């Protein structure tokens, strides 16, 4: 089991102290960086939108990205199963 560490991150104009494991620290920091990049991009595109609304827009966009990736993974898994079935059929014929 990995050692627990505290990480201080500046996320969407606020500072957070978060507990994580030493092995996941770098990934958490990268996720925070990506979140800030998405927020700053949306801030540039909509400079007059209220902070709280902008945060919700960022969260919604990220969830759309997650759903899209999940759909792609499901389609990939379906194709993988079809290929496995075809290969099994070919092996039985040969």
pLDDT, tens digit, for every residue of 23-72? 999 999 999 999 999 999 999 999 999 999 999 999 999 999 999 999 98
Please give the backbone phi and psi of residue 6, each rounded to the nearest 5 degrees, phi first.
-100, 140
Mean pLDDT of 77-90: 86
Q: Identify the sign of the CA torsion 44, 48, 52, 54.
A: negative
Q: Identify the sign of the CA torsion 44, 47, 49, 55.
A: positive
Angstrom CA distances, 49 to 34, 43, 44, 79, 86, stand at 20, 8, 10, 42, 53
pLDDT category at 1 given cuts 50, 70, 90 is low
**Which tops the pLDDT comparison, 45 or 93?**
45
DSSP 4: E
**Which tops the pLDDT comparison, 63 or 90?**
63
């Amino acid at each position: 089991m990995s050692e627990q560490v505290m990480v201080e991150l500046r996320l969407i104009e606020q500072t957070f102290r978060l507990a994580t494991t030493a092995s996941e620290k770098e990934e958490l920091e990268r996720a925070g960086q990506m979140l800030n990049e998405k927020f700053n991009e949306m801030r540039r595109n909509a400079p007059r939108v209220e902070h709280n609304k902008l945060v919700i827009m960022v969260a919604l966009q990220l969830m759309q990205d997650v759903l899209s990736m999940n759909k792609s993974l499901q389609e990939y898994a379906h194709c993988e199963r079809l290929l496995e079935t075809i290969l099994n059929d070919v092996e039985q014929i040969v």
